[in-house]
């Protein structure tokens, strides 16, 4: 079968392309703003990419068009598909019907930590010899790809693994299906990592998101498991709406706890008050300890012992763009992180502060997500940047005044509409020992390499 994917370079739709290619289908796709790592991953898989949504693509004559939620009415190619009455389907529905049907789906939902927790869970199952399939909204460094079909488990060389781990996004499915993506997945194991207000472009308030999460909970069977963050009042409200599945909670005063955390990030895992073992790793912050507890609990439901999960996590490599070191020069370290919500910014900075102590942290921020562009979260930004010593905010193309929003921290905040000027400013003040944390959920105009090059020139001149 030939499938043509509209919006193929999003992390989810790119994963769909990889799975379809591995399943033996012919896969082509189109998008705008094509950039790594997804573009390079797709090209490596032999997927033909077309820039833009020109109607000439109809001549490809695919068997079906798979539509990403980036596509809306008015898109020229989509309009032609509708005018000609050609077959189309959403990405989540295609995935559910062609990949997930009949499998043990482990779905990880939440405002934050979905990608990291999904990666941890997939790696634990892999380490345990269960050869899971997965689709993750990032590139787990233990695997090097964001998606793959289930393989052959070590325990049974004559069958395919039943397990599939998926990052379960609450964003809407497509312009013709406004339900959250995750309602299509029908998980046996559902992780509810946390729940805050986000996606202000499609949700009116937190209650609207809680309703979608309850739709997910309704699909989990009685013999399944819901793993929920015990600290989140919003998730308790979701569960209180009705839950027909056993629930295990993680966090303080919960079934699963992280105890005796060390400065390096290592900690003890406790289940129902009893120490199960020690996770020795270098991932930073309480949020990653919570992610680990969720993945251990979910893996246990799939038959992996806590001991094996802990051993797997000691060899876990974080996802690309999650506190990823992109360069070091003259004692300055540059990090790339996906943080794009005030809570994620705050927890990421807190983790880095715990690692570097009193070293200066220079936070470089692009408020790029739809929610951030709308300014819904702007009042929470100053507090989220508390741990940064200097803040550099790229304020171009915002619907609100970044200078006004960051006025409470104006002594350390610098706002720029010009990328070149911002890079020059950061480079001019950077000194040995500084930690430069770059945060965006997009390509950020290649600022990482631009800044590293500027620092090279600066120190070579000296």
Residue 263's pLDDT is what? 64
Beta carbons of 203 and 197 less than 8 angstroms apart? yes
Residue 398's pLDDT is what? 79
**DSSP per-residue string spanning 133-200:** EEE-SS-BTTTSSSEE-----TT-TTS---EEEEE---SEEETTEEEEGGGGS--SEEEE-------T
Q: Count the Cβ atoms, other than its own, within 10 Å of residue 370.
A: 15
Q: How far apart are CA 132 and CA 122, in angstroms?
A: 7
Ranking 20-34, 151-165, 206-220 by mean pLDDT, the lowest is 151-165
Ranking 76-90, 254-268, 315-329, 430-444 by mean pLDDT, the lowest is 315-329
pLDDT digits 0-9 by tens, 85-112: 999 999 999 999 999 999 999 999 998 8
Residue 23: name the closest of 83, 113, 97 by CA.
Answer: 97
The dihedrals phi and psi of 421, each to the nearest 5 degrees, come to: -65, -40
- Length of the chain as a residue count: 462
- Per the prediction, the chain carries an average pLDDT of 90
Residue 320's pLDDT is what? 66
As a three-state string, the secondary structure of 320-380 is CCCCEEEEEECCEEEEEECCCCHHHHHHHHHHHHHHHCCCCEEEEECCCCHHHHHCCCHHH
Q: What angle do CA 140, 141, 143 make, to 5 degrees?
A: 75
**Local confidence band at 395 (pLDDT 50, 70, 90 cut-offs):** confident
Beta carbons of 128 and 312 less than 8 angstroms apart? yes
Ranking 48-62, 191-205, 384-398 by mean pLDDT, the lowest is 191-205
Beta carbons of 5 and 61 less than 8 angstroms apart? no
φ/ψ region of 273 (left if φ > 0, alpha if ψ in -120 to 50, else beta) reads: left
Average pLDDT for residues 146-173, to the nearest whole number?
90
Ranking 52-56, 76-80, 365-369 by mean pLDDT, the lowest is 365-369
Contacts of 443 (CB under 8 A, 6+ apart): 33, 35
Instruction: Tell me the β-bridge partners of 6.
Output: 30, 67
The tokens describing 349, both together, are 């900075």
Residue 317 or 106, more confident: 106
Q: What is the three-class DSSP state of 239?
A: helix
Beta carbons of 88 and 65 less than 8 angstroms apart? yes
Residue 441: name the closest of 286, 320, 333 by CA.
Answer: 320
Domains and CATH numbers, the chain: 2-90 (3.40.50.720), 102-313 (3.40.1190.10), 324-461 (3.90.190.20)
Task: Look up residue 319 and give its DSSP letter.
Answer: B
Beta carbons of 7 and 69 less than 8 angstroms apart? yes
Residue 1's pLDDT is what? 95
**Local confidence band at 262 (pLDDT 50, 70, 90 cut-offs):** confident
**Local confidence band at 200 (pLDDT 50, 70, 90 cut-offs):** low
Residue 264's pLDDT is what? 62
pLDDT digits 0-9 by tens, 355-389: 788 999 999 998 877 666 666 778 888 999 999 99
Q: How far apart are CA 265 and CA 123, in angstroms?
A: 19
User: Which residue is listed with tokens 């899971």?
Assistant: 132
Instruction: Tell me the β-bridge partners of 275.
Output: 270
Beta carbons of 287 and 113 less than 8 angstroms apart? yes
Contacts of 227 (CB under 8 A, 6+ apart): 189, 190, 191, 192, 247, 248, 249, 250, 294, 297, 298, 301
Average pLDDT for residues 302-330, to the nearest whole number?
88
pTM of the model: 0.78
Q: How far apart are CA 322 and CA 288, in angstroms?
A: 11
């Amino acid at each position: 079968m030939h499938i043509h994917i509209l919006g193929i370079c999003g992390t989810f739709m790119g994963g769909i392309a990889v799975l379809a290619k591995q399943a033996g289908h012919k896969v082509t796709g189109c998008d705008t703003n094509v950039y790594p790592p997804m573009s390079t991953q797709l090209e490596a898989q032999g997927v033909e990419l077309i820039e833009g949504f020109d109607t000439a693509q109809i001549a490809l004559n695919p068997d079906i068009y798979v539509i990403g939620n980036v596509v809306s009415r008015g898109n020229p190619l989509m309009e032609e598909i509708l005018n000609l009455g050609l077959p189309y389907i959403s990405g989540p529905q295609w995935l559910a019907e062609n990949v997930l049907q009949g499998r043990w789906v482990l779905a990880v939902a939440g405002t934050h930590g979905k990608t990291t927790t999904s990666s941890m869970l997939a790696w634990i199952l892999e380490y345990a010899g269960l050869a899971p399939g997965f689709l993750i909204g990032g590139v787990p460094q233990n695997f090097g790809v964001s998606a793959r079909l289930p393989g052959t488990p070590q325990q049974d060389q004559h069958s395919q693994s039943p397990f599939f781990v998926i990052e379960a996004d609450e964003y809407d499915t497509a312009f013709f299906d406004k339900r959250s993506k995750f309602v299509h997945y029908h998980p046996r194991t559902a992780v509810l990592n946390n729940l805050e207000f986000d996606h202000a472009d499609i949700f009116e308030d937190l209650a609207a998101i809680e309703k979608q999460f309850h739709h997910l909970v309704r699909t989990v069977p009685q013999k399944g498991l819901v793993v929920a963050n015990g600290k989140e009042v919003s998730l308790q409200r979701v569960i209180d709406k009705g839950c027909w599945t056993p629930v295990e909670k993680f966090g303080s005063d919960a079934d699963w706890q992280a105890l005796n955390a060390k400065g390096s990030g290592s900690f003890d895992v406790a289940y129902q008050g009893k120490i199960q073992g020690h996770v020795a790793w270098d991932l930073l912050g309480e949020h990653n300890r919570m992610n680990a507890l969720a993945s251990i609990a979910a893996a246990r439901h799939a038959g992996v012992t806590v001991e094996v999960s802990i051993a797997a996590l000691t060899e876990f490599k974080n996802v690309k763009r999650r506190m990823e070191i992109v360069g070091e020069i003259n004692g300055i370290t540059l990090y790339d992180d996906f943080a794009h919500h005030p809570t994620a910014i705050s927890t990421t900075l807190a983790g880095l502060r715990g690692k570097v102590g009193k070293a200066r942290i220079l936070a470089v921020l692009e408020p790029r997500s739809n929610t951030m562009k709308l300014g819904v979260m702007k009042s929470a930004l100053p507090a989220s940047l508390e741990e940064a010593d200097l803040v550099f905010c790229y304020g171009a193309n915002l619907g609100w005044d970044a200078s006004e929003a960051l006025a409470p921290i104006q002594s350390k905040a610098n706002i720029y509409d010009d990328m070149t000027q911002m890079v020059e400013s950061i480079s001019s003040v950077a000194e040995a020992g500084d930690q430069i944390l770059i945060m965006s959920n997009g390509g950020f105009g290649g600022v990482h390499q631009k800044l590293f090059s500027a620092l090279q020139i600066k120190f070579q001149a000296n």
